[in-house]
Amino acid sequence: MTQIKTCSDSIARSGFGTLQIPDSMLQDYRKIVDGYSAISPATKASFSFGQDTDGFFPFGAEYSGSEDHPDLCERLCYWPVHVSKRIGFEFTRSDFFAAVDTFERQISELAQELMDGICGEFGVPPLAPFRLASYVQLCVYGVQTANIERRFAQDPHEDGHMLSFIKPTREGLVLVKGGSLESVRLLENEVAVLAGSLLTELSDYAIPAAYHAVLAPQRPVSRSSLIYFANPNPEQVLTSFFRKQPIDLNSAVNARHTGFGNQPIQLP
């Protein structure tokens, strides 16, 4: 059984799985998480596009539960659909940006293959390519999070996407199962894959969304997490897995996106 098949089966049953990534992706991942600290505040300020949820965003700009309880991280968001609008910025010619671009291309292919496998588990046709509706997000939790009196650096929530691919630099990611927390432990070359609320709806609630959170550290320590959020192609007419009814997820995509404090998604 291939790892795609194994992960597809796990997500279909529980909403959670893991995948191994090739060394080339792991190298780009390291360039991204290790290189972020060298990016100047001026670059971050100039390369920030709130209307597109693209570029850099300061500490506490997004939230998982309520607006007055923000996530304790700063972010970089990268949407391939907006790259053509950024070519005039010097930052797009940096090695860091190149690593983000390359990582996104590879993870998007992996995400499409996995989604095809999940569709196969339910005997439904594969989805249309969704790369241009999806994006990469780097969350950087600074050492200051240990000085904030909170249990979670990111409150318990389910992601408002089809799938989330998460690769953290250290422990902290937990699955919330009732009143218990289950730590997600990954090998060096593994990523966690979590079903989001959109996949739950598309599957007629057969696939549970993975409720999860990030624990606040008990001591001053930095932590980063590189994530890929897979959204459905807005031009595809989707049909639910079991009821075989047309389902419009476009409004749900934006409702989930803005529910985390972001601006509505505007694709070309």
CATH code (residue 122):
2.60.120.330
Residue 145 confidence (pLDDT): 72
103-130 burial, b at 16+ Cβ within 10 Å, e below that, comes to bbebbbebbbebbebbbbbeebeebeeb
Instruction: Assess if residue 264 is contained within a domain.
Output: no
Domain that holds residue 15: 3-259
Residue 66 confidence (pLDDT): 82
Instruction: Assess if residue 50 is contained within a domain.
Output: yes
Residue 40 confidence (pLDDT): 98
Instruction: Assess if residue 25 is contained within a domain.
Output: yes
Instruction: Assess if residue 217 is contained within a domain.
Output: yes
Instruction: Assess if residue 268 is contained within a domain.
Output: no
Residue 31 confidence (pLDDT): 98
Beta strand spans in the chain (E)? 16-20, 48-49, 54-57, 74-78, 135-141, 152-157, 163-168, 173-177, 180-183, 190-195, 212-215, 223-230, 238-239, 246-247
Give the residue ranges of the chain where pLDDT is below 70: 1, 146
Domain count along the chain: 1
Instruction: Assess if residue 265 is contained within a domain.
Output: no
Whole-number Å distance between alpha carbons of 217 and 260: 22
Which structure tokens are listed for 193? 């894959």
pTM for the predicted model, two decimal places: 0.96
Instruction: Assess if residue 266 is contained within a domain.
Output: no
Instruction: Assess if residue 134 is contained within a domain.
Output: yes
